Amino acid sequence: MRKNLSALVLAAGLMLAATGTAVFAQFQSGSYGSKKENSIDQTAPAQMSSDGNFAVANFPSFAPELAEGEGRAETESFCAMCHSTRYITMQPPLPAATWEAEVNKMTKTFGAPIPDATAKKIVAYLQAHYTAENRKQ
Amino acid sequence: MEQRLQSVSRRDALKLLGAAGGGLAIAKWFGADTAVAQDLQTIKTMEPFTGPGPNPHWNSIGPYISEPEKAPLILLTDRPVQLETPRSYFRTPFTPNDAFYVRWHLPEIPNRVDLAEWKLKIEGNVNKPMALSLSELMEKFKPVSLAAVNQCSGNSRSRFQPRVPGGQWGNGAMGNAMWTGVRLRELLDTAGVKAGSVEVQFQGLETGPGPKGLGSNVFLKSLKLTDSVLDEAVVAYLMNGEPLPMLNGFPVRLVVPGYFATYWMKCLTWIRVLSAPDDNFWMKTGYRVPDKPRGNTTPEEVKAGGIKTVPITRMPVRSFLVSPDGHSKVPAGMNVTLRGIAFSGYGRIVKVETSEDGSKTWREAELGEDLGAYSFRTWEAKWTTKTPGNYTVEVRATDEKGNVQPDEGVWNPGGYLWNRIEKQDIVVGKAS
């Protein structure tokens, strides 16, 4: 009787293994997920000649998706004149006054040619989507 | 984002077996109450941002991306390029070139340098201005090598409370390399610094679209001619025995041992001796710290105004636990090896200690090879994990000047000079 039972359990184990998912108290194996978006393509070797030119490929761009709302288009076009809008999404949620100071720094200290009315709109946009009270993405 | 993983439940298994009589044996095989010993973990990606609290992770949270000549690194920004080195690359004293972090200030950075045209110029208040090709630098001057840590002034900025704007680095805006090149002093002596000179200015190939005269147009850094660091500075054309990656400053970069990376000009092309102090944005406004112990102040003091600031210079003592990194459980009773690195801009690391009991007791770790005063120094310590539970491993270093890492953070508006004791939570699981 005991022998028969062992044989039965062994058979069941083989059947489970055949389904690709073995379940035991001791371990679990054979479960796979699909996460294609986590992959990074390898870069192909560059073409080179023996002259004095030392060149690398273009540096890639990764524009983030900014929060939807009034002022997004102005923010995307004016801020991106000098830098990626990742400078916005990289920040932690910042107080409204800090966002205003940041935009002022860009226009006054760094000379960004942003019309006053547009700068105000950009400040309002950042304050509406990137503070501790309202940031979602 | 989550990925649900399928498994066959115990009930399904029983059904499959179709044998109620085998209950006892089945219980033995499948466990008394649960279908599986432990639920499988789902794959989760990092949160899109951290804050307003401190970033709880060792590194920053951006995606891995692939840039020319680089291994996949953590993206902070793509234009200008800012990339962080993942924690696991700090297991070795030298950081591989392809994993070395990247930080530029302005968007126009070189993809191409023609060495048939490129010259390093030594100009300004000198007797004999020079323009040297890379060949001339390599052949006409004595090569010297030294190991030195390059760390961004804002490394670990994401730990600040309250948070400050700027590159939200975790701990990976640092790296150590063996730099080979020409002594800056030899170049200055050959050109002949004229009497009445006060500073030497460095300019690379990094520019921006901003108006001339503003910080958004060109990145410039200067050091005082009386600063003894000039005797140790090297114009490096080799990094770990290889040419520098374009993103790390090909063809030559300035190495300023012990100083924060802001002075380590990439793609160094102009060395300019000045007869008046440099008042450009990157000296007068940027990269300045409160003239107070540890460069520490408060938002209230800043609001009140009148804080005297000075240009940032040397790196305070720091140490890091690299592994185990808390991403896996450790079985109770196992003798694991804690491994990490330490360095200081003020000189050699003489002691690294770890604590596993909330700073009550500290044990001295074994130090790795001494590769020079300004290099990473590896350390390791055995740790027997004892009983299951949640542990925190702390690490602190002491340098030859007696500087010890404190358990208090620092705060200043630039987000500079962080060197608080590092702490790593580690979960110890049952081994039987």
| pLDDT (0 to 100) of residue B251 | 98
The C-alpha atoms of residue A48 and residue A51 are separated, in whole angstroms, by 9
Specify the amino acid at residue A22.
A
Q: Which of B120, B232, B148 is nearest to B186 (CA)?
A: B232
Residue of B nearest to A58 (CA): B111
Closest in A56, A84, A137 to B69, CB measured: A56
User: What is the average per-residue pLDDT within B320-330?
Assistant: 97
Q: How many CB atoms lie within 10 A of CB B15?
A: 10
Domain span holding position A87: 72-129
The C-alpha atoms of residue B181 and residue B208 are separated, in whole angstroms, by 28
pLDDT tens for B252-262 read: 999 999 999 99
Q: Is the pLDDT of residue A22 over 80?
A: no
The answer to the question of residue A100 being in a domain is yes
Cα→Cα distances B201→B121, B250, B263, B268, Å? 12, 19, 10, 11
User: How far does Cα B81 stand from its chain's mean position?
Assistant: 15
Average pLDDT, chain A: 87
Number of compact structural domains in chain A: 1
**Domain boundaries in chain B?**
67-286, 318-429
Q: Which fold has domain B318-429?
A: Immunoglobulin-like (2.60.40)
- Residues from chain A that touch B34, judged by Cβ atoms under 8 A, are 25
- Asked if A27 has any chain B CB less than 8 Å from its own CB, the reply is yes
Helices (H), B117-260: 134-140, 184-191
CB B182 within 8 A of CB B132: no
CB contact under 8 A, B3 and A83: no
| pLDDT (0 to 100) of residue B8 | 41
User: In which band, very low, low, confident or very high, does the pLDDT at B183 lie, cut at 50, 70 and 90?
Assistant: very high
Domain containing residue A112: CATH number = 1.10.760.10
pLDDT tens for A67-109 read: 999 999 999 999 999 999 999 999 999 999 999 999 999 999 9
User: In which band, very low, low, confident or very high, does the pLDDT at B38 lie, cut at 50, 70 and 90?
Assistant: low
Q: Is the pLDDT of residue B9 over 80?
A: no
The C-alpha atoms of residue A122 and residue A113 are separated, in whole angstroms, by 13
Q: Is the pLDDT of residue B238 over 70?
A: yes
Residue of B nearest to A81 (CA): B209
Q: How far is A71 from chain B (nearest CA, A)?
A: 21
CB contact under 8 A, A9 and B48: no
The C-alpha atoms of residue B275 and residue B84 are separated, in whole angstroms, by 37
CB B322 within 8 A of CB B86: no
The C-alpha atoms of residue B86 and residue B350 are separated, in whole angstroms, by 26
Residues sharing a CB contact under 8 Å with residue A101, sequence separation 6 or more, in sequence order: none
Average pLDDT, chain B: 93
| pLDDT (0 to 100) of residue A30 | 84
The C-alpha atoms of residue B371 and residue B374 are separated, in whole angstroms, by 8
The C-alpha atoms of residue B189 and residue B19 are separated, in whole angstroms, by 92
Q: Which of B155, B93, B19, B5 is nearest to B376 (CA)?
A: B93
More confidently predicted of B115 and B37 = B115
Q: What is the DSSP letter of B133?
A: -
| pLDDT (0 to 100) of residue A25 | 81
The answer to the question of residue A95 being in a domain is yes
Phi-psi region of B372 (alpha: psi -120 to 50; beta: other; left: phi over 0): left
| pLDDT (0 to 100) of residue B300 | 97
The answer to the question of residue A60 being in a domain is no
| pLDDT (0 to 100) of residue B44 | 84
User: In which band, very low, low, confident or very high, does the pLDDT at B7 lie, cut at 50, 70 and 90?
Assistant: very low
CB contact under 8 A, B17 and A8: yes
Q: Is the pLDDT of residue B16 over 60?
A: no
Q: DSSP per residue over B32-55, as a string?
A: SS-SSSSPPPPP-PPPS---SS--
Token code pair at residue B140: 């006409």
End-to-end CA distance of chain B: 33
- Residues from chain B that touch A58, judged by Cβ atoms under 8 A, are 68, 111
pLDDT tens for B61-80 read: 999 999 999 999 999 999 99
Interface residue of A4, A14, A59 to substitute, partner B, most B CBs within 10 Å: A59
pLDDT tens for B393-410 read: 999 999 999 999 999 999
The answer to the question of residue A59 being in a domain is no
Most confidently modeled of A29-38, B4-13, B16-25? A29-38
End-to-end CA distance of chain A: 63
Q: Which of B242, B250, B136, B269 is nearest to A55 (CA)?
A: B250
User: How far does Cα B277 stand from its chain's mean position?
Assistant: 30
The C-alpha atoms of residue B72 and residue B67 are separated, in whole angstroms, by 7
Q: DSSP per residue over B276-344, as a string?
A: S---SHHHHTSSEEESSGGG---HHHHHH----EEE--BPPPEEEEEES-SSS-EETT-EEEEEEEEE-
User: In which band, very low, low, confident or very high, does the pLDDT at A35 lie, cut at 50, 70 and 90?
Assistant: low
User: What is the average per-residue pLDDT within B11-25?
Assistant: 46
CB B123 within 8 A of CB B187: no
The C-alpha atoms of residue A111 and residue B106 are separated, in whole angstroms, by 14
| pLDDT (0 to 100) of residue A82 | 96
| pLDDT (0 to 100) of residue A36 | 65
The C-alpha atoms of residue B362 and residue B351 are separated, in whole angstroms, by 11
Comparing A22-36, B134-148, B225-239, B289-303, which segment has the lowest mean pLDDT?
A22-36
The answer to the question of residue A114 being in a domain is yes
Which CATH superfamily, name and number, covers B67-286?
Oxidoreductase, molybdopterin-binding domain (3.90.420.10)
Closest in B5, B51, B211 to A93, CB measured: B51
Q: Is the pLDDT of residue B5 over 70?
A: no
CB contact under 8 A, A59 and B78: yes
| pLDDT (0 to 100) of residue A31 | 82
User: In which band, very low, low, confident or very high, does the pLDDT at B30 lie, cut at 50, 70 and 90?
Assistant: low
- Residues from chain A that touch B111, judged by Cβ atoms under 8 A, are 55-59
